Structure 1
Amino acid sequence: MKKLLIEIVGWYGAAAIILAYGLVSFGALGATSAVYQLLNVTGAVGIVIISMTKQAYQPAALNAVWTVIGLVALMRLFF
C-alpha cells in the first residue's frame, strides 16, 4: 500500500508540473499566479518523494531546487 501511495504522489507531481507549464504556455495562467506556483511546488515535492524513494538523486535535487524557487515566489506574492 505504501508503494502505491508513493507512486500516486510521483504521478501527481509529474501531472502538476506539466499542467502548470501547459496553462502558462497557453495563456490560461500567468507565471506569477499563485495557482501556477502552487502546482509547481506541490508537483516538485511529489517528484522529490518518488525520486528519493527510487534513489534517483538528480531529479530529486532538481526538484528540491524547483520547490525552493516556487516557495520563494509564493512568499513574494503574499508578503
Structure 2
Amino acid sequence: MTITELFIEAAGWSGAVLILGAYILLSLGRMQGNSPAYQWANVIGAAGFILNSGYHGAIPSVAINILWVAIGVFALWRIYKAAA
C-alpha cells in the first residue's frame, strides 16, 4: 500500500468514525444537533468520505457527501450567525 492509498483509507475510516461517533452521541443525548461540534464532525467526516469515495470512483457516494458537507456548512453558518 502506497502512502497515498494509506492516506485515502485513513480519511475514509476517520470520516466514518466522526460521523458515527457524532450520531451515537446525538442519540444518547450527549450532543445537540444544533451544536457546532456536531456539525463540524459531520462536515469533516463527510469530507473524508468524499476523498475516499472519489479515489475509489464511487460517484454516488461523492455526490451525497458533497450535499452532506453543504448542509453542515449551512447549519454552521446559521449557528455562528445567530451567535453574533
Interval of TM-score (by shorter of Structure 1 and Structure 2): over 0.9
Cα deviation for residue 62 of structure 1 reads: 0.7
Tell me which structure has the larger Cα radius of gyration: 2
| Runs of at least 4 residues off by over 3 Å | none
Give the structure 1 partner of residue 35 of structure 2: 33
TM-score when scaled to structure 2?
Answer: 0.92
1:17 counterpart (16, 19, 23): 19
In structure 1, C-alpha distance between the alignment counterparts of 2:32 and 2:53, rounded to whole Å: 28
Alignment RMSD (CA, Å):
0.5
- Partners of 1:60 and 1:25 in 2: CA distance: 25
Query: What is the alpha-carbon distance in structure 1 between the residues aligned to residue 25 and residue 40 of structure 2?
Result: 13
TM-score by length of structure 1 reads 0.97
**Percent of paired sites with the same residue:** 39
Matched length? 79
Q: CA deviation at 1:24?
A: 0.4
CA deviations over 1:43-75 (Å, ceiling 9, x no partner) = 000001100000001111111100000000001
Deviation at 1:32, TM superposition (A): 0.2
Structure 2: tracts of 5 or more residues without a match: none
